[in-house]
Each structure stands twice: as structure tokens, then as C-alpha cells.
């Protein structure tokens, strides 16, 4: 069976921004890719109403997932309603059990936006209680007894919420797939005006490329890179499990601060 990858993030376009290149390389390695945004993008417009922009952004996310031949899982809540609470956790855990990933790719646990950090908290807990038969999920799903290794992507612009530079455990060289990553992100056409207006990200495709270029420079020589930190394996997988690095070994470059 092929390795199953679950990329789970807060909003439409988050996946493409910080982990799209890694996912392209994993798809090329014949992994089974699943993607999901917990929120539907309902606040991401200065011109459309919430229902309209949520519908547009969900379709854009579906189109981006098609670049990976990925299984797309629909969002669960509106923007800014990603809270670490029982009802939403029960829904995310049900999906986690359905997907039963070998590798779970998440955003940074420290980032500039609460939605991002809450999405990470929900996903980590959902992975942790994937095998807890007495934890009720919605809809009901059987508990899953298999290892899962969690990795965290870089925060937005490679900086934490206090503006400190975040160094990954290892870098993935995405130089050969940067054009494909850009094409995936370009599916989110509705976001150019919104990001320019709300976050001053003039030309969001160039902004993404700039972040990947900056991280490549931090790595010590890559043209474009994505970065990953492995979550504490306790209760999730074996202490030495590192399947992402194993799968992408030809593309991995280790941080000087991290033992290989």
C-alpha cells in the first residue's frame, strides 16, 4: 500500500503556501494524498458576501487538490470559527479516523494567526485520540490503531508570532517543482485582491516564492525550500520514525542544529 499523507490546514491556500512543493514531491513518489482546510474562507473578500466567497474558495481548493490527484475533504466552519472545543474536535477526529494517515502535515504550532494555531491544536489532538475507542466522534467512526508521524511546516514568512526567525529540523528542496507549486497556489484566484488589501502581500504568488527563496538561503544554498519540524512522537509513532525524510531523502537537507 502507498503511504497515506494528510495535509490539514486552517484556510484555503494555506496548504499551497507552506507545503505545496513537498506535497507535489510526495505525489510524484506515488503517495496517497488527502487535503483539508478546516475553515471555508468566508472572510476572504472585500467584494463578495460570506456565502459566495466560501463557495468560490472551496472550489479553488478543490482545483488545487486536483494538481496532486488528491482526495479533497470539505471544510467544517467559517473563518475565525476554528476554536479548540468539543464539537469541532469530534468532527476533525472522525475525519482523521476516516483518512487514517501515515503522515500528517500541519501548519506551525506558533504562527501569526489564531486560526492557524487552533487548527494545529485540533489536528494534533485528533491524531492523538485516533485510537481512543471511548472518545465519541461525529459522525461515529471506529478507532484506528496505526502509527502516524506529524510534521509542522514553517510559519508564515518563516517567522513566529513574536517575529523571530524559525529554523526547521530539515529542508525540502522544492526548486524543481516551484513552478508547479506556483500553479497550485494560482488556483486561488480570489485571493489576490484580498491579500493585497488585508495583508499588503502585493502579488501573492511572488510573496510565496519569496518566502521559499528566503528559506532556501537560510538552508545554505537551495534555490527554493520548504521546512519541516517533527512533532513529539509520544503516543503517535516510534521514537525514531521519520517517514517524510525517508520518502524524500534525495530532496532533504538537514539543519545544522538537528541530528540526522
pLDDT tens-digit series, residues 14-63: 999 999 999 999 999 999 999 999 999 999 887 899 999 999 999 999 99
Q: What pLDDT, on the 0 to 100 scale, is given for residue 259?
A: 47
Q: Cβ contacts of residue 72 below 8 Å, gap of 6+?
A: 34, 35, 36, 61, 62, 65
Euclidean distance between CA atoms 75 and 101, whole angstroms: 18
Q: Are strands 149-153 and 103-106 parallel, antiparallel or unpaired?
A: parallel
Is this structure's pTM higher than 0.75? yes
What is the rounded average pLDDT of the residues 235-254?
Answer: 97
> Which residue do the cell numbers 486560526 mark?
115
pLDDT tens-digit series, residues 187-226: 998 877 666 655 555 578 888 999 999 999 999 999 999 9
Q: What pLDDT, on the 0 to 100 scale, is given for residue 47?
A: 84
Euclidean distance between CA atoms 211 and 157, whole angstroms: 5
Q: What pLDDT, on the 0 to 100 scale, is given for residue 184?
A: 97
Euclidean distance between CA atoms 81 and 103, whole angstroms: 26
Q: Among 187, 192, 194, which Cα is nearest to 50's?
A: 194
Q: Is domain 4-254 classified as CATH 3.40.50.620?
A: no
pLDDT tens-digit series, residues 70-124: 999 999 999 999 999 999 999 999 999 999 999 999 999 999 999 999 999 999 9
Amino acid at each position: 500500500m502507498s503511504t497515506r499523507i494528510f495535509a490539514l490546514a486552517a484556510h484555503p491556500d494555506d496548504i499551497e503556501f507552506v507545503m505545496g512543493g513537498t506535497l507535489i514531491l510526495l505525489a510524484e513518489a506515488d503517495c496517497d494524498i488527502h487535503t483539508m482546510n478546516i475553515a471555508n474562507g468566508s472572510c476572504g473578500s472585500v467584494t463578495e458576501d460570506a456565502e459566495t466567497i466560501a463557495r468560490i474558495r472551496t472550489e479553488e481548493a478543490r482545483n488545487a487538490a486536483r494538481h496532486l490527484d488528491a482526495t479533497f475533504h470539505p471544510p467544517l466552519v467559517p473563518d475565525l470559527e476554528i476554536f479548540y472545543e468539543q464539537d469541532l474536535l469530534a468532527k476533525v477526529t472522525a475525519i482523521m479516523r476516516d483518512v487514517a494517515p501515515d503522515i500528517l502535515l500541519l501548519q506551525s504550532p506558533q504562527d501569526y494567526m489564531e486560526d492557524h494555531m487552533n487548527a494545529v491544536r485540533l489536528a494534533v489532538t485528533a491524531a492523538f485520540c485516533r485510537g481512543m475507542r471511548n472518545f465519541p466522534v461525529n459522525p461515529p467512526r471506529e478507532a484506528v490503531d496505526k502509527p502516524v508521524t506529524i510534521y509542522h511546516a514553517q510559519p508564515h514568512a518563516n517567522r513566529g508570532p513574536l517575529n523571530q526567525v524559525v529554523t526547521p529540523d530539515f529542508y525540502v528542496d522544492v526548486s524543481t517543482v516551484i513552478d508547479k507549486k506556483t500553479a497550485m497556489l494560482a488556483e486561488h484566484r480570489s485571493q489576490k485582491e484580498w491579500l493585497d488589501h488585508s495583508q499588503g502581500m502585493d502579488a501573492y504568488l511572488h510573496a510565496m516564492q519569496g518566502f521559499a527563496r528566503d528559506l532556501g538561503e537560510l538552508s545554505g544554498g537551495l534555490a527554493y525550500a520548504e521546512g519541516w519540524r517533527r512533532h513529539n512522537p509520544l503516543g503517535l509513532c516510534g521514537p525514531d520514525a521519520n517517514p517524510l525524510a525517508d520518502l524524500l531523502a534525495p530532496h532533504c537537507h538537514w539543519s545544522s542544529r538537528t541530528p540526522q
